[in-house]
Amino acid sequence: MDAPSPEPVPLPADVPTLQGMVRELLATVAELRRTVEAQQVRIDDLTRRVYGRKSERVTPGPDASPASAGDNPVSLDPPATPRPRRRGHGRRPLPEHLPRERVEHDLAEPEKPCPCCGRMRTRIGAETSEQLDYRPASLFVVEHVRHTYACGVCSRAGDPADGRRPTIATASRPPAPIGKGLPGPGLLAHVVTSKFADHLPLARLEGILARNAVALDRSTLGGWVRSCAALLGPLVARMATLVRGGRVIQTDDTPVPLLRGRGRTRTAHLWAYLGDARNPYVAYDFTPTHAGAGPKAWLGDYAGYVQADALRQYDPLFDRPPPRPAEVGCWAHARRKFHDARASDPARAHEALARIRSLYEVEAEAKSLTDADRLGLRQARSRPALEALFAWAEEQRAKVLPKSPMGVAVGYALGNREALSRYAEAGFLAVDNDACERVLRAVAVGRGNWTFLGSESGGRTAAVLYSVVGSCRRLGLDPWAYLRDVLARLPGLPADRLDELLPDHWARQHATPGT
């Protein structure tokens, strides 16, 4: 006896939601087609490996002689029609700031006479073309020569006992990032940028430097990294203070393996905190565990908006007595749960995705608006869409199993209804937490290369340097150029001038005229 067919899910009555469902269904069909094609390639490959001939001889073309085909040629499917090659948009011009080296190519002397009359030809012009080339990065030595002066009459070094002032004086050396240390600010900036921006482990950097005939052990490089973090610590602390002074903070975390001896690791966490548009910094924090005490301690008595996913570690922030921060939910997390339910409940999943798509369409229109205009657009269009979405979710809750993928998605949306709706009450809030997730990708990529943190102090060092590099990337700055200048200036900079080296202040000081 056949099983009863499932009860059909009624379609929404409004046309925009139906159109959104069609778009979501088409996207799902395209994704499934790509998945099927990839699986078919694997199936064909496995079939050939198991049942196919081991010979690599193929059937010759129609013009080949039979003798050249071999006795048992392997028949292959005819090749698919090649896809037409896209027309390019032309070669981009090389950047003007790159140094140019002029190499002139002249005719050889026997080629200069005219082949007709034999007289010498006159140069009438030149053709210039550009070729992009590369030289490996090079190390160089800076010799600090401190000149010494003396009085030609007195010529004494001074005697502290009788209070006489010395007449011999030597020029002082400028403060160095590492006192009496070997590396200059440019090399330190290169090491930090290589590890925390380019995800290069110190062991590989050790080998790269060795190719320049400079032997630097990775433990030495690690000491330099720690010294840079100690020097940049006050600057990062200032950035964190400014982030906590903003109207909204986005936060998220990612796990990092922490070495606990004898090759074993445990899971620690790096937390990212993004400031608002007025304080465009990224501040990282390291915690050896995943407890809620970490974000609670970092945020302190902050009472603005905090945007995060519905992680239980953030609950102590929102459950405490006032003043407390207002929770802003993330629609990307909510959408992801409906997306995961497409296989088990496609009709409801695609309707939910269509409704969420309408929220993002409003955000796309509001992207270039001011905060006030964006708020007005959200009140006019996003608010009704949110109310309709949650009303639909309430209807579905009674029709789905609570622990099914769709039940989990509906429960997440309704359980966080207030937080997910809060972005519509202020124009400077974001619809999701994706900006913070993008920042954390740097840690995720680096984690695949350096594999683990060696100690808790190493985790705190990483938090400081990821803060600097992440803030530079958020502002579109070259981390090396910023660190090269900041590491040279910080040792001799008075504490009351620290704000001059904040990434956004530094960017304004070094902006190219006309940009």
Q: Using one digit for the tens of pLDDT, what is the confidence trace for 61-118?
A: 444 444 444 444 434 444 455 555 665 566 778 888 888 888 888 888 888 888 888 8
| CA pair distance 393, 47, nearest whole angstrom | 46
Whether the pLDDT of residue 252 is over 60: the answer is yes
Whether the pLDDT of residue 204 is over 50: the answer is yes
Neighbours of 346 (CB within 10 A): 15
Rg (CA), the chain: 33
pLDDT at residue number 63: 47
pLDDT at residue number 3: 47
Q: Do 251 and 308 contact (CB within 8 A), yes or no?
A: yes
Average pLDDT (4-14) is 66
pLDDT at residue number 89: 60
What percent of the chain stands above pLDDT 90? Answer: 57
Q: Is 119 helix (H, G, I), strand (E, B) or coil?
A: coil
pLDDT at residue number 213: 82
Taking the whole predicted model, whether its pTM rises above 0.75 is answered as: yes
pLDDT at residue number 68: 41
Average pLDDT (131-155) is 79
Indicate the range of 337-346, 458-467, 496-505 predicted with least confidence.
337-346
Q: Do 59 and 69 contact (CB within 8 A), yes or no?
A: yes
Task: Read off the tokens for 57.
Answer: 């001889």
Mean pLDDT, the chain, as a whole number? 86
Biggest alpha carbon–alpha carbon distance for the chain? 119
Whether the pLDDT of residue 402 is over 80: the answer is yes
Whether the pLDDT of residue 471 is over 50: the answer is yes
Whether the pLDDT of residue 1 is over 50: the answer is no
pLDDT at residue number 283: 97
Q: Please list, residue by residue across 46-74, b when 16 or more beta carbons sit within 10 angstroms of its beta carbon and e when fewer do.
A: eeeeeeeeeeeeeeeeeeeeeeeeeeeee
Q: Using one digit for the tens of pLDDT, what is the confidence trace for 108-134?
A: 888 888 888 888 888 888 888 888 877
Do β-strands 265-274 and 326-328 pair in parallel, antiparallel, or remain unpaired?
unpaired
Average pLDDT (183-197) is 94
Average pLDDT (256-282) is 93
Indicate the range of 29-43, 276-290, 302-316, 447-461 predicted with least confidence.
29-43
Q: Using one digit for the tens of pLDDT, what is the confidence trace for 158-176?
A: 555 555 666 788 888 888 8
Average pLDDT (270-274) is 97
Residue 83 has what DSSP assignment? Answer: P
| CA pair distance 202, 453, nearest whole angstrom | 12
Number of H helices and E strands in the chain, helices first, is 16, 7
Indicate the range of 173-182, 315-324, 461-470 predicted with least confidence.
173-182
Confidence of residue 142 (pLDDT cuts 50, 70, 90): confident
Task: Read off the tokens for 359.
Answer: 């929220």
Q: Using one digit for the tens of pLDDT, what is the confidence trace for 275-330?
A: 999 999 999 999 999 999 999 999 999 999 999 998 999 999 998 899 999 999 99
pLDDT at residue number 6: 53
Whether the pLDDT of residue 390 is over 50: the answer is yes
Whether the pLDDT of residue 400 is over 70: the answer is yes
Whether the pLDDT of residue 240 is over 60: the answer is yes
CA pseudo-torsion sign 37, 39, 40, 42: positive
| CA pair distance 289, 253, nearest whole angstrom | 11
Whether the pLDDT of residue 186 is over 80: the answer is yes
